[in-house]
Amino acid sequence: MANALVFIDNPGAALKKSSLELLTLARKLGETAVAFNGELTEHVAATLGAYGVATIYQPSVADLDDYLVAPKAAYLAAAVVASGVTAVLIENSPEGKEIAGRLGIKLNAGVITDVVGLEADGTAHKSVLAGSYNTTAKATTPVAVFSVKANIVEPEPAGAATAPATAKVEVPADAAANAARISSRTEKPASGRPDLSEARIVVAGGRGVDGDFGPLEELADALGAAVGASRAATDAGWIGHDAQVGQTGVTVSPQLYISAGISGAIQQKAGMQTSKVIVAINKDAESPVFEIADFGIIGDLFKVVPQATAEIKKRKG
């Protein structure tokens, strides 16, 4: 019988890196099952096999995506009962956390969010209060629900591949009864850069870019990085709100965070101070961002950034 259930929601043609991370982590807890939503392509099924998944559950209805989270939580609850698992792993997106929350109430299960490490006995590691404390937490209930941050393990296929069985899960008839309906949806144009929350390197700009993200985008492309921003920059409309890093934006934890023209207000720091290495470029030597920078440059970003980009291109040949 499976011990851990991983929720994989609409991956499309290939599994996201964060899903592979969940599958890798789940194996620590024992045999893995997947609660799948969306179209299961042959390629995705094969990847699930490579990651050692024993069973793939699919919902009996196709309209889970027409509603906000509630029916997905109802489906997952039914999948937990069908699979008999004791742990559920979900990605730590806003939607993932909400599904986890509703699922916890349905199952009388403890929910632990923002997990950055998980041990075989269900002990979860978290970083709280804007990265100022490391805590460990545990669910005291028979079933535990974890929403897990991206980038905390390297995806690794199982030693031996499996041929997963598939099974249908009956979604309760009233699953959508108390759900908000999604009446329209527009996809934003893709930038071609890595996803901000998963990127290994983030180049972020603030009010100091004065309307021109061009030099930061060029540096990001030379480094294979995602572009982030402070709220001042997104509020000014220089870049989309989805690029905002911080308390009310995306939390990032990359290998390298380059902050340019950002003062380093507490709400901005909250979203980036667990980055491994922080580089700051700012004209003002008094900016609080220098208190947390591993390498700080007091200077004009419009001079420093293009010079760095040119130098990287030169060295990479």
Partner 1 sequence: MKIVVLVKHVPDAQFDRHITGPGNTTDRDESILSELDEYALEAALQLAEERGGAKAGNEVIALSMGPSGAVNAVKKSLQIGAYSGVHLSDDALAGSDAAATSLALAATIRHLSADRRPVDLVLTGMASTDGETSLIPAQLAERLSLPQLTFASTLEVNGGTVVARRDAGSHSETVEAQLPALVSVTDQINEPRYPNFKGILAAKKKKIASLSLADIGVDPSEVGQSGSWTVVESAAARPPRTAGTIITDEGDAGIKLVDFLAAQKLL
Ligand X SMILES: Cc1cc2nc3c(=O)[nH]c(=O)nc-3n(C[C@H](O)[C@H](O)[C@H](O)COP(=O)(O)OP(=O)(O)OC[C@H]3O[C@@H](n4cnc5c(N)ncnc54)[C@H](O)[C@@H]3O)c2cc1C
Which residues are at the interface with ligand X (CB under 6 A)? 206-208, 230-233, 244-249, 261-263, 265, 267-268, 271, 281-284, 287, 300-302
H-run or E-run covering 167: strand 165-169
- Is residue 170 near partner 1 by the rule CB under 8 A? no
Interface with partner 1, residue 195, by CB under 8 A: yes
Q: Give, as one character, the DSSP assignment of residue 67.
A: B
* Least distance between ligand X and beta carbon 288 (Å): 8
Nearer to ligand X, 106 or 269 (CB): 269
Is 204 within 8 Å of 230 (Cβ atoms)?
yes
* Interface with partner 1 in residues 28-87 (CB under 8 A): 68-70, 73
Residue 209, φ and ψ in degrees, nearest 5: -75, -10
Residue located via tokens 């997905």: 72
The amino acid sitting at 283 is K
Query: 225 CB contacts (<8 Å, ≥6 apart)?
Result: 193, 194, 199, 200, 201, 202, 203, 219, 256, 258
Strands 110-118 and 124-128: antiparallel
Around Cβ 175, how many Cβ atoms within 10 Å?
21
Closer CB to ligand X, 19 or 287, in the complex: 287
Which CB, 43 or 283, lies closer to ligand X? 283
Residues 22, 28, 30, 33, Cα dihedral to 10°:
10
Binding mask 215-234 for partner 1 (x = CB under 8 A): --------x-----------
> From the list 1, 136, 168, 173, which residue makes contact with partner 1 (rule: CB under 8 A)?
136
Q: What single-letter DSSP state applies at residue 242?
A: G
Continuous H helices in 11-64: 17-27, 42-50
Q: Please list every residue from 260 through 279 that binds partner 1, using CB under 8 A.
A: 266-267, 270, 273, 277-279
**Site size for partner 1, by CB under 8 A?**
96
Closer by beta carbon to ligand X, 104 or else 271: 271
Residue 118 forms beta bridges with which residues?
124
Residue 49's binding partner among ligand X, partner 1, none (Cβ under 5 to 8 angstroms by kind) is none
In the list 130, 158, 161, 236, the residue contacting partner 1 (rule: CB under 8 A) is 130
4 or 99: whose CB is closer to partner 1?
Answer: 99
Q: CB under 5 to 8 A by kind: which of partner 1, ligand X, none does 268 bind? A: ligand X
Nearest approach, Cβ of residue 298 and ligand X (Å): 9
Q: Which CB, 34 or 289, lies closer to partner 1?
A: 289
